[in-house]
Structure 1
Amino acid sequence: MAGWTADRIPDQQGRTAVVTGANSGLGLVTATELARRGAHVVLAVRDVAAGEEAARRIGGDVEVRELDLASLDSVRAFAAQSAADLPVVDLLVNNAGLVLLGPRRTTADGFELHIGTNMLGHFALTGLLLDRLAAAREPRVVGLSSITHKNAHLDFDDLMSERGYGASSAYGRSKLATTVFGIELDRRLRAAGSPIVSTLAHPGLTRTNLTPRAWEHRGRLGRVIARAGLLVTQPVEQGALPQLRAATDPGARGGQFFGPSGFGETRGRVTEARLSREAADPAVGRRLWAAAEELTGVSYL
């Protein structure tokens, strides 16, 4: 489908969408477009004040709920509240993520911060919301990958990067893990005969606030690098289109992966993207799934 734009998003009236990290960047654009089409949108955010400001900007049928993906207690509290007062979740967009520079940091549960937030937090959230999703008419889960997953490798003997740590490689591994999770989730949903569809997307090189924040502590050099990024990145509205298509295209299939069509999948119109060999490997999917269940204590499918 050439030239897919937000104008192609179908009517979302009567649907409830949960978007993580919805107060800025790709998540804000995604939440805005879904609310514009009539969805009830839950902004699942770590910073509630920022979420409230985003809700005022978006307008429509939106609400803000606290969710810190770097804390399994917070994930469980969010899921418990949602199970209590959301009859269904039609759409879960696992958008939130972080990219850091500097020394290794950990989540509240002791996980390396990138994989703990970007993948394990979303793994737990999805599992805990699975009943709400299964109760919907055409439920869907969207995972946010990255082109960095293509050059990453999962070391199952050192998933938390304790033996050797580099921030950029840790981010790439977390995005590979996110991608493997989305594909393995699709396999398991199909095998279980579930109505839930799992899709994936990546934004290419997009102008969000993640990279500038990551460079903040590098002073003048960091600011120069952040500004240089403006020359090679695409606007956030364009970068959000792959995940919006993954979330709303009626023709999207389970396991389908969307991204930009340009050179190196860095920018351009939305098209079907390519998985790395490791991301598509069922053996890697099974192994990561078992590790994630053990680490988070959340078991499903």
Structure 2
Amino acid sequence: MATTKPSPVAPFQTTWWQWIEYYYLLMLHGGFPFFWWIRPHWKPSQMGDKRGTVVFITGGNSGTGYETAREYYLHGATVYIGCRSDQRATDAIARIKKGGRCNMYGEFEYETPNAAKVGTIEYINMDLSDLDSVERCANELKGKVQRLDMLFANAGIMATDPGQFTKQGYPLQFGTNTLGHQRLISLLLPLLKQTSRETPDSPARLISLSSVGHVFAPRGGINYEAIESRTELDKWAAYGESKWGDIALANFVNTHHGPGSPNAIDGEIITFSVHPGVVATNLSRHLGGVEAMYKLTWLTPLYQLQPYDGALNQIWCGEVSVAEARRMSGSFISCFQTQCPARPDLKNKVAVDRMWEWCDAQARKTE
């Protein structure tokens, strides 16, 4: 039977300046609206014509994923969204085509798109908590496109109650946020590399949605013993573990396939990991205490961002100039459009490689 351990806040700070560095990261650039002077300095209106650009977004049916899909569709891209519910995906696409933008209360406001500029959008059924479903999705996408310009590993869950596991028996948060995305990324690497071979002056990009909450991961990032024994961590430690993993995914791809890496010769991939800010989405709306606060609508803008603002960091990572993107590849981007430090142990190549290889080994068990 699964058990729950108390939350182990990782003892990763080793010097006084690292405490200051993390205070700076977690507070000033955590995306809290009450720091009113820290605001986005880039808007999607600066995007160019994206016709010919192929984009895949996990969780593109809601929250930051929906707003990302919406902007790329409005700017002419070929957009695919991954979603586990056919109905939710169909509804989201219908709203996107009508120009719907979601506010922080879950309500949609519409502005008719310019029909001459829009692209195409469709969905592929995918459940990140099921490795078989992830593989089917990747194979379906490969049957539709020959290249992939941008992969937004956006979907995720947060602070789920103990006792929930993926189809293959992994703790739900790590299995969905990290393991499912690792499988998807590994299967889509050939499409990303194909883009970079065809257009070396505009390499493919991988943007992995993480969180400043990755600092609550266990020592070393991933507690493999707990995962393999089905011993559950506290739900916030488990969330931090999965978000540590999301940064590690981007770091691994950058180290092995990014600018200047040995494998870049057959197609480099620019990577970013991103903190979106404190965003009003269905990810947090039903957490204990937060749901009640939503009833006090006048309070919401004081502590949460619009989903649109929350999507700006990852869209910016897709649109920042190639020269800047190459320079920053592998960076953790916090609010807003700002390079910030991630936990020091994410610089440990051995730990990052171990996580990728461990995830690969789990996928082989399903073959």
TM-score (norm 2): 0.73
Q: In the TM superposition, what is the alpha-carbon distance from 1:161 to its structure 2 partner?
A: 7.5
Q: Are residues 62 and 164 of structure 1, via their aligned partners in 2, closer, same or farther at CA, if it must alter by over 3 Å?
A: closer
Describe how 1:1-301 pairs up with structure 2 within 5 A: 3-59=41-97, 60=118, 61-136=120-195, 137=199, 138-153=203-218, 154-159=222-227, 162-189=230-257, 190-193=261-264, 194-215=267-288, 223-225=291-293, 230=300, 231-250=302-321, 251-253=324-326, 254-260=329-335, 269-297=336-364
Q: In the TM superposition, what is the alpha-carbon distance from 1:104 to its structure 2 partner?
A: 2.4
Q: Percent identity over the alignment? A: 27
Contact 2:209-2:314 at 8 Å conserved across structures: yes
Structure 2 unaligned spans of 5+ = 1-39, 98-117
Query: 1:110 and 1:4 mapped to 2: Cα distance?
Result: 42
Larger radius of gyration: 2
Q: How many residues align?
A: 284
Query: 1:160 and 1:41 mapped to 2: Cα distance?
Result: 36
Structure 1 unaligned spans of 5+ = 216-220, 261-268
3-state SS of 1:159 partner: helix
Query: 1:130 and 1:178 mapped to 2: Cα distance?
Result: 16
Deviates more, 1:53-62 or 1:248-257: 248-257
Q: In the TM superposition, what is the alpha-carbon distance from 1:160 to its structure 2 partner?
A: 5.5
3-state SS of 1:252 partner: helix
Which 4+ runs in 1 deviate beyond 4 A?
225-229
Q: In the TM superposition, what is the alpha-carbon distance from 1:9 to its structure 2 partner?
A: 2.4
Q: In the TM superposition, what is the alpha-carbon distance from 1:158 to its structure 2 partner?
A: 2.2
TM-score (norm 1): 0.88
Query: 1:211 and 1:69 mapped to 2: Cα distance?
Result: 19
Q: In the TM superposition, what is the alpha-carbon distance from 1:29 to its structure 2 partner?
A: 0.4
Query: 1:214 and 1:11 mapped to 2: Cα distance?
Result: 39
Q: In the TM superposition, what is the alpha-carbon distance from 1:148 to its structure 2 partner?
A: 0.3
Contact 2:124-2:140 at 8 Å conserved across structures: no
Query: 2:122 and 2:244 mapped to 1: Cα distance?
Result: 31
Query: 2:304 and 2:89 mapped to 1: Cα distance?
Result: 25
Any idea what the Cα deviations from partners look like across 1:58-94, whole Å, max 9, x if unmatched? 1241011101111111111111111122111111100
Contact 2:274-2:334 at 8 Å conserved across structures: yes
3-state SS of 2:273 partner: strand
Residue identity in the other structure for 1:63: E
Query: 2:139 and 2:161 mapped to 1: Cα distance?
Result: 35
Any idea what the Cα deviations from partners look like across 1:135-190, whole Å, max 9, x if unmatched? 11321111001010123222232235733421111111100111111111110102
| Greater RCO, 1 or 2 (C-alpha within 8 Å, sep 6+) | 2
Query: 2:352 and 2:227 mapped to 1: Cα distance?
Result: 14
Contact 1:104-1:165 at 8 Å conserved across structures: no
